[in-house]
């Protein structure tokens, strides 16, 4: 991958020469997919993520967009070392963490936290909210017991907009939006620098999504947080992200700042995604042309050579079917993997 893809000064937030907080180089993640052949001797692997590279600068939000099964969540979990990498390297503050041991990983995770997609499944229904938020403090030795953690937990619950008595109640007493606020408070308990937000608003009502997004932006401004924001909703991603990476079938096909992605998409898949975003003005919506490509997504157990989008792209050439297109800078800070 071209080194300019991530270190371009136009991609940075704050000082142009700032070092990235998170760096991913050639990340590849495979999962066991069963066996095939005579007596099942051939092992099959799901190619969830293939040769992905990007950087995230301190205080920045990188939006990661793609359809279901494209590998977005797998990338986030691989960075947090929740799933192993088959190849590639992951760096945090210039330190490689791809294969560090458990002893070194435990303190590292204090700085890297996860906000889950489902606020109903991510909270233990048998624990009080106070205990849920206090647990990471006690586990990591920042508080010896609930009494020592009380001040920190109460401040966190107040910061995310929950009532004073929230700590004494159980998850079933809260709405989906309130539960997600609890999940955010738990993620903030250890004062992390980097948060992977794995579709944090996709399970919420539309009216609540804006509140959670605004809360995350306010916390970022107050605490200097860095986000990898994973989502399907392109309107939400545009609102919160500084740069956006578009994923398809385990690979990043386009990466640029948000205005470049929305105003001048270069990859055919990005154009199709943006054409499907509804516009609130009925007249404008009726005049828009929806781009739809026929064909099936590639089999993750046996992906084809060349471009992963070739089976659906109307402009596919012989090069697309035989050679994997590299990421190239077409415009200032705008990278795309396409032969056309």
**In this prediction, what percent of the chain has a pLDDT beyond 70?**
90
Joined together, the tokens standing for residue 74 give 């797998």
Q: Is there a contact between 307 and 338 (Cβ–Cβ < 8 Å)?
A: yes
pLDDT in the model for residue 2: 46
pLDDT in the model for residue 18: 75
DSSP code for 97? -
Task: Select from 87, 18, 110 the least CA-distant residue to 56.
Answer: 18
Q: Residue 52: enclosing H or E segment and its boundaries?
A: strand 42-56
Task: Select from 309, 329, 336 the least CA-distant residue to 320.
Answer: 309
In the chain, which stretches have pLDDT less than 50? 1-17
Neighbours of 19 (CB within 10 A): 14
pLDDT in the model for residue 284: 62
| Long-range contacts formed by 169-175: CB under 8 A, 24+ apart | 169/128, 169/129, 170/125, 170/126, 170/127, 170/128, 170/129, 171/120, 171/123, 171/124, 171/125, 171/127, 171/129, 171/132, 172/125, 174/129, 175/208
CA distance 310 to 265: 18
| pLDDT tens, position by position, 110-140 | 999 999 999 999 999 999 999 999 999 999 9
pLDDT in the model for residue 196: 98
pLDDT in the model for residue 340: 78
| pTM of the complete model beyond 0.95 | no
């Amino acid at each position: 991958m071209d080194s300019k893809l991530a270190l371009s000064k136009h991609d940075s937030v704050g000082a142009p020469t700032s070092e990235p907080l998170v760096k991913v180089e050639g990340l590849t993640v495979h999962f066991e997919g069963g066996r095939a052949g005579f007596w099942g001797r051939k092992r099959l692997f799901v190619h969830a993520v293939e040769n992905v590279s990007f950087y995230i600068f301190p205080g920045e939000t990188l939006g990661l967009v793609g359809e279901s099964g494209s590998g977005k969540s797998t990338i986030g979990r691989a960075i947090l070392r929740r799933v192993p990498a088959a190849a590639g390297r992951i760096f945090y503050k210039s330190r490689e963490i791809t294969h560090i041991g458990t002893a070194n990983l435990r303190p590292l995770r204090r700085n890297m936290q996860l906000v889950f997609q489902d606020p109903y499944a991510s909270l233990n229904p048998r624990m009080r909210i106070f205990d849920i938020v206090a647990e990471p403090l006690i586990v990591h030795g920042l508080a010896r017991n609930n009494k020592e953690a009380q001040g920190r937990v109460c401040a966190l619950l107040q910061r995310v907009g929950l009532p004073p008595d929230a700590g004494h109640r159980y998850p079933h007493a809260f709405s989906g939006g309130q539960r997600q606020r609890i999940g955010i408070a738990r993620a903030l308990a250890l004062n992390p620098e980097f948060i992977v937000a794995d579709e944090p608003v996709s399970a919420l009502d539309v009216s609540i999504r804006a509140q959670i997004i605004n809360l995350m932006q306010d916390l970022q401004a107050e605490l200097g947080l860095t986000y990898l924001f994973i989502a399907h909703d392109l309107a939400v991603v545009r609102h919160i992200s500084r740069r956006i990476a578009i994923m398809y079938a385990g690979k990043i096909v386009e990466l640029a700042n948000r205005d470049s992605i929305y105003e001048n998409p270069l990859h055919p898949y990005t154009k199709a995604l943006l054409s499907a975003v509804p516009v609130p003005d009925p007249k404008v919506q009726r005049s828009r042309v929806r781009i739809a490509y026929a064909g099936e997504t590639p089999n993750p157990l046996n992906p084809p050579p060349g471009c992963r989008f070739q089976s659906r792209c109307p402009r596919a050439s012989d090069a697309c079917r035989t050679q994997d297109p590299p990421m190239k800078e077409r415009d200032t800070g705008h990278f795309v993997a396409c032969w056309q």
